[in-house]
Structure 1
C-alpha cells in the first residue's frame, strides 16, 4: 500500500493552479435525456427555457480517446488532475453557489482550476485530497460557482478491522430510490463518465472488491438537490454535500430530509438500517 512517505507531495502540488476550460451548447436533446433519467416528462425544450440545475455536470466533460483511459475507466492521470498513485478516486463532496440560470440554447463555458492538494493518513490508509474550483458561465454572465473535493485512496486491506458506522436516522421526509442498472448507466452516459465501478460488475466486484455497482456521488447529490427544491418550493441558492460511505445497487436507498437551523434543510441518503451515505445541506 502506498503511504504518505511514498507520495511525492511537492511534485503533486505543482498541479495547483492548473486550469482546464470547456464549452458546450445546452442542447434541447440533452435536457430531454436529463429529465427522462430523473423520471420527469421530457417535454419539448425551446431556446431561452431555464435548464435543470446541475445539468452542467453533463456538459463540457473531458473527451479523451478510449485508448487514453486508465484501467478504472477514468482519463489517465497527469493531465489536468495530478497523477496521484493511489488506485481509488472518488468524488468526496462539493458546494455550490447559484447566481443565475443556464438556459436552453446557451453556450456554457466551464473554467476549472486546481485550488489545493493535501495528504493525510486516515483509518484506512493514505488519503490524498484535491480541491478544484469550477466557474460556470453563459453569455458573459456567471451562472454558478462550484468547489469540488476529490479523494484518492488505496484499496481496502482484506484483513483490516473495519469500524461499522451507526445506522442513519430517519428523516421527517423520505423517498425511496431503486438504483437500477439502467439508471446508473444512463447517468454515466449523460455525464460521459467511463468509471467502471458504475456499470462493470465483474470489474467492481473482482478488482475493486465492492459488493455491487456503485451509485454515483453526483447522482445522489442531484437527487437530493431536486428533493430539496420540491420540499422548499423553489431551488436552493446554496447547496453542499459530502460523501461518507458508498451506496451500491444491491438494495434500494432512501432520500431523507429534515429541517435544519436558520431555515436550512438537512438531507442525506442511506439504505434501510445502513449508515449515512451522503449528507447535504440546502440554503435559500
Structure 2
C-alpha cells in the first residue's frame, strides 16, 4: 500500500482477520437450483469454482448496517469517505480442491488502496487478499478489487455491442427473483440488487443491478459445462459495465489459452469479462 494512501486514511492500518466456516452441502444445492440445473457437471465431493463465496459470509449486526445495506467501514475496510461501493473484479488461484464437509479458515487483509479519476469523479480502489485454508494449506488464493465512489448517476454511457465472436453461447434472464435469491445465498444486503426504488432514486441506476459475482459464477459454471473434463487453475474477472434486470442476457466463451469469457446485456454490450486457465 502506498504511503500517501495510508496517510489519507487518517491513521487507519490494515488488520489481518480470520473467519471460520464448514463447507456444508446445503448452499451448493441452492446454488444449483438458482442456476437451474442438477450440478451433475460439478466435481464430485468438492466445491465448484467460486462456490466458496457462499461461505465466510458477513455477520455484522443489524445496527451496524449502513443505508446502502453494506456493513459500516473502519476495521476490515478503510474508512473511505465515499458512499457508493461495488465489487469491481478479482483474481483467483486454485491450488487444491475444497472438499464438501471440510472445516476451513479464510484469512483476509487489505493490500492496496489507490485513487483514480473516472467519468463519475474520484474512484478509490481497495484490494483485499483472501487465503482459503484447508488442512493447514492455502487451497485458494484470491484478490478482490472493491471500488468506492461519490454519489452520482449510475447509468452507464451508451456503448457499441461487443465485437467478439463466441465459440459457445447461452442465454440467461436476470430477473428480480434471481437477484433476490443470490443476495440471500451470499447474505448480501446491498439494496441496489433488490430495492428498485433505492437503486433508481438514490443511486440513479435505470433498474436493479445484476451482481458482479453472480455473473462471474455463471461464467465459471458455463465454462465447466463446456469443459467437464478440465479443472480450473486460475480465474480473473472485472466488471466492464453494469447489467440490469429486464432484458435477455448472454454467457459467452471464446476458446484460447486462457479461455475468454464474458456476459452481454440486451444491447450486446460486454458487462462482466473473465479469463480462465484450465488444467
Q: Using structure 2 for the length normalisation, give the TM-score.
A: 0.90
Q: How many residues align?
A: 271
| 1:275 corresponds to which of 266, 269, 274 | 269
* Maintained 8 Å contact 1:13/1:116: no
Residue in structure 2 matched with residue 131 of structure 1 by the alignment: 127
* CA distance in structure 2 between the partners assigned to 1:214 and 1:207 by the alignment: 13
* Maintained 8 Å contact 1:12/1:117: no
| 2:56 corresponds to which of 57, 60, 70 | 60
Q: What do you get for the CA RMSD once the two structures are aligned?
A: 2.3
* CA distance in structure 2 between the partners assigned to 1:13 and 1:21 by the alignment: 24
Residue in structure 1 matched with residue 24 of structure 2 by the alignment: 27
Shift in Å at residue 144 of structure 1? 0.6
* CA distance in structure 2 between the partners assigned to 1:25 and 1:205 by the alignment: 37
SS at match of 2:9: helix
* CA distance in structure 2 between the partners assigned to 1:29 and 1:157 by the alignment: 39
Residue in structure 1 matched with residue 161 of structure 2 by the alignment: 167
Residue in structure 1 matched with residue 185 of structure 2 by the alignment: 190
Note the 1:112-123 alignment, pairs <5 A: 112-123=108-119
* CA distance in structure 1 between the partners assigned to 2:174 and 2:157 by the alignment: 25
* Maintained 8 Å contact 2:14/2:76: no
Shift in Å at residue 229 of structure 1? 1.9
Write the deviation string for residues 170-199 of structure 1: whole angstroms up to 9, x where unpaired: 422111110122211111111111101111
Write the deviation string for residues 47-103 of structure 1: whole angstroms up to 9, x where unpaired: x92122212111112201111100000001212111111121111110110011111
2:246 equivalent to 1:246: no
Task: Name structure 2 gaps, 5 residues minimum.
Answer: none
* Maintained 8 Å contact 1:88/1:155: yes
Note the 1:203-222 alignment, pairs <5 A: 203-222=198-217
Task: Name structure 1 gaps, 5 residues minimum.
Answer: 1-6
Q: Using structure 1 for the length normalisation, give the TM-score.
A: 0.88
The 3 A distance-change label for structure 1 pair 42 and 152 is same
* Maintained 8 Å contact 2:15/2:75: no
Residue in structure 1 matched with residue 172 of structure 2 by the alignment: 177
Write the deviation string for residues 139-177 of structure 1: whole angstroms up to 9, x where unpaired: 22221100111111123359x9x7533211342211111
* Maintained 8 Å contact 1:16/1:117: no
Runs of 4+ in 1 over 6 A off after TM superposition: none
| 1:86 corresponds to which of 82, 85, 93 | 82
